[in-house]
Amino acid sequence: MLALTLNPGFVPLLAVFLVLAAPRGLRAPTMAGAAVLALWLLLDHEFGAASAMAQMGLPVVLLNLDALNRIFGIALLLALIIVAIYSGARRNRYEDAAILTMCGGAVSALFVGDLISFVASASLAGLAAAWLVFCSTLEDANRAGGRLLIWHGLEGLLFLVGVAFHLSSGAQSAVLGRLDVATIGGGFIFAALMIRVGAPLAHVWLKDAVSHASPVGGVALTAMTTMLGVYGLARFFPGEPLLLAIGAAMIVIGAFYAAAEDDLRRAGAYALMAQTGVCVALIGDGAPLAMAAAEGTAFTAIFAFMALQATLGAVVERVGAAARVSALAGLSRAMPITSFLLIGAGLAVSAAPGFALYATHTVALQATAEWEKLWLWTLIAALPAVLLVSLTLRIVLAAYRPLARPPRMNEAPYSMLLGAGLASFFCISVGLAPRWLYGLMPAELSFDAFAIDRLAPQLELLGVAGLLGVAFRVFGLSPKANFAQLLDIDALYRGPLASAGRWSGVLLLRAYGAWQELSRGVARAIAAAVEGWISRCDRPYATSIASFVQIAVISGVLGLMLFAR
């Protein structure tokens, strides 16, 4: 039997050319077929390296399969199938090509075995993500795409500098392995991965891109961007203590903005940031159980947040604007199936028992159940309650609020409902039978997520959070609907810092212009003086003292002649 060693990520990249040429009816099947073929290449290959070669004295490993990249690869390729089904209701070949390019770059980065190929593939995925935002027809999508391009450009620059310094230590260091954040090369690569996972100060790109992307683009960005950064951290920096604090900060910031944000697509992006922070903190722990929990949480978070963004995207498709909590009144009458799926997606991202995130949430709690990690355990335990109130209870209370004049039926397109339903099906199937997911994890894991001592506290926590949320709403203690856009650190980037940058640029340009004018004036003065001196040398009799000089010179010469004799 012929052994294929083609990197699975190359299949979506090759399918880009087919999608650009295919008619509308064939584009979604082409995307799904590329994902299925890539899955077959992934599952048909044994663990180990293949397709290794040498270029410019550096090892290039196009395919290296192990348990770590396998679980991420399966998740991303299944996500591509869901996106392909979800995208059948609209016509945009360029967006389809951007999705395939982003997925192909991300999956290629998972399975390459050398640092240079990883950086190249990850950078390609980042450029495709910006392209995906540019393809959106929503308001200000072009500006959001430009901002995302800047973020990924900065990430790529940090990657290149880090690789350059890292390779200076020797050619064999190009092979993937653990890096040291204390070195120059490792520090730059660590900083680049912080941008990719959406760490504090760089987290704004995700909510900005998701909220301005099209409904299909928001689903694809949710699945295929930050989790590649989680894989990079698990590959290069397992057990790094800095990740504990960074992950905790991501949980706190993400949970706060998810609860306060009125735009639900932005709130979903912040909630994804919080769950990504759980993965980052667990990677910083570095213990085998914590690493398994991080990888499993990344896997389940992909499908849970895809289901959420897919249903919110269906609302945006029909409403034609942002899916705001303050504008969801009557949604249950206008879009009953979408409302039902939206509630299920909210429960999925809240780690409710029976859904996928619960199966890995219990593992994360078990991994941090130590006295010295009590603060991290508390954050992870409290996060589902915050997300339940933010992304489930608020939606239910708004969507099922009765109206004096019920709206007419305006359900989402069938392909969108099918894609959102398929994402929810994965959440439920993994949540009810998580053993096969535990079998995919690199660490051998035998875990009973539905043990009474794990199930009961989670149900109690979510129940109390729901009752408190309803009580606050009944007694008027909950905050009123927020019609204003919530400010984040990007308000500083786009406001004072951007103004300071513009003014600095203007001042520097004016200073440069003044310096040029001064240098030109000095050069003109020097040139005039030199020209005048040369003119005097060419016309020795033109000056008033020419005769005196001539007589003095002749007399001096005659005197020397007489003296010499």
Q: pLDDT band for position 2 (50/70/90)?
A: very low
pLDDT tens per residue across span 243-297: 999 999 999 999 999 988 888 999 999 999 999 999 999 999 989 999 999 999 9
Question: In angstroms, rounded to a whole number, what is the distance separating the alpha carbons of residues 478 and 460?
Answer: 21
Q: How far apart are CA 40 and CA 43, in angstroms?
A: 5
At residue 547, does pLDDT exceed 50? yes
pLDDT at 208 over 70: yes
Q: Which of 96-105, 318-327, 519-528 has the lowest mean pLDDT?
A: 318-327
Round to whole Å and give the CA distance between 84 and 96. Answer: 8
> How far apart are the C-alpha atoms of 251 and 303, rounded to whole Å?
19
Q: 469 or 493, which is more confident? A: 469
Distance of alpha carbon 134 from alpha carbon 427, whole angstroms: 30
| 292 in Cβ contact with 441 (< 8 Å) | yes
Q: What is the amino acid identity at position 315?
A: V
CA distances from 313 to 265, 272, 339, 443 (A): 8, 16, 12, 36
Is residue 409 pLDDT above 90, yes or no?
Answer: no
Q: Where are the alpha helices (DSSP H) in 61-200?
A: 67-86, 93-111, 115-134, 141-167, 184-197
Amino acid in the structure at residue 312: L
User: What Rg do the C-alpha atoms of the chain give, in angstroms?
Assistant: 32
Torsion from C-alpha of 175, 176, 179, 185, nearest 10 degrees: 60
Does residue 150 have a pLDDT over 70?
Answer: yes
Residue 518 CA: distances (Å) to CA of 511, 514, 529: 10, 6, 17
Q: Which tokens hold the place of 68?
A: 């770590």
pLDDT digits (tens, 9 = 90+) for 82-118: 999 999 878 788 999 999 999 999 999 999 988 888 9
Please return the burial class of 250, using the count of CB atoms within 10 Å of its CB with bins 0-12, 13-18 and 19+.
buried
Query: Helix, strand or coil for residue 59?
Result: strand
- Domain range list for the chain: 1-237, 240-483, 498-564
0.85 surpassed by pTM:
yes
pLDDT at residue 485 is higher than 70: no
pLDDT tens profile 505-518: 777 788 888 888 88
Contact 110, 172 (CB under 8 A): no
Range picked from 34-48, 144-158, 165-179 for highest mean pLDDT: 144-158
Mean of the pLDDT values across residues 389-418?
84
pLDDT band at 1; cut points 50, 70, 90:
very low
Cα–Cα dist 285/83, whole Å: 33
pLDDT of 3 above 50? no
User: Rounded mean pLDDT of the chain?
Assistant: 86
Name which of 12, 50, 52 is nearest 32 in CA terms.
12
